[in-house]
Amino acid sequence: MNTPTTPDKDMQEAARLEKLRAQLSSDIQAIQQKEASLKEYEQRLRLLMEHNRQGVPAPQANQVYVNAGPDSRQALDAEWEKYHRAHALLEAARRGLTDDRLALKEREEALALREADLAKREAWVKAREQQLAAAAMPPPAAPDSNPSFVTSPLRAARKLLRPAGKKAKA
């Protein structure tokens, strides 16, 4: 007996099959890449075995010989000389930059000391100006020697009540 399937189950089954199909295709591609890599490796092994049977060392892929011309050693020495000169110039520039950096740091420290010294001097000048301004102010007006009861009743009363021989404290 066949049971009727609903459209949702059919769609889920189709999605699952599509997902499996995608996984299979990616697995097939990975296997094909590995197979190609193995074929290449097999060819290299066959070549090495053939060279080994003949007694000739097989050329290695990463080796490059510079024995092509009579000037190859001289050209190599010239290139090394260029390298050493460039390296020496780089080191000289690095030392110059280090010296410049140290000189700049010393200059910044000297400026910081001078700034602190100027701040101290400015504070001293400000305090001195305040002292001179206070000294230059006219003294307060001297009170009248004979105060009247209208202008200053308390001072007049003190003067009246105090004996004439004692000096005033106020």
Torsions phi, psi for 105 (to 5 deg): -65, -45
Look at residue 150 and tell me whether its pLDDT is greater than 60. Answer: yes
Q: Which residues of 13-38 are buried (b: 16+ CB within 10 A; e: fewer)?
A: eeeeeeeeeeeeeeeeeeeeeeeeee
Name the least confident of 73-77, 103-107, 162-166: 162-166
Look at residue 147 and tell me whether its pLDDT is greater than 90. Answer: no
Span 50-65, mean pLDDT? 68
Is the CA virtual torsion 74, 79, 85, 88 positive or negative?
negative
Which string of DSSP letters, residue by residue, matches 26-69?
A: HHHHHHHHHHHHHHHHHHHHHHHHHHHHHTPPPPPTT----TTS
Confidence of residue 149 (pLDDT cuts 50, 70, 90): low
Which of 170 and 52 is assigned the larger pLDDT?
Answer: 52
- The 8-class DSSP code of residue 167 comes to P
Kindly report the CA angle at 124 between 133 and 135, in degrees rounded to 5?
Answer: 20
155 burial type by CB count under 10 A (0-12 exposed, 13-18 middle, 19+ buried): middle
156 burial type by CB count under 10 A (0-12 exposed, 13-18 middle, 19+ buried): middle
Six token digits for residue 154: 């308390």
Query: For 98-141, how does the pLDDT look when each residue is reduced to its tens digit (9 = 90+)?
Result: 999 999 999 999 999 999 999 999 999 999 999 999 888 876 66
Instruction: Quote the CA–CA distance of 166 and 144 in Å, as a whole number.
Output: 17
Confidence of residue 56 (pLDDT cuts 50, 70, 90): low
Query: For 16-45, how does the pLDDT look when each residue is reduced to its tens digit (9 = 90+)?
Result: 999 989 998 999 998 999 899 888 889 888
Instruction: Quote the CA–CA distance of 127 and 154 in Å, as a whole number.
Output: 38
Residue type, 65: Y
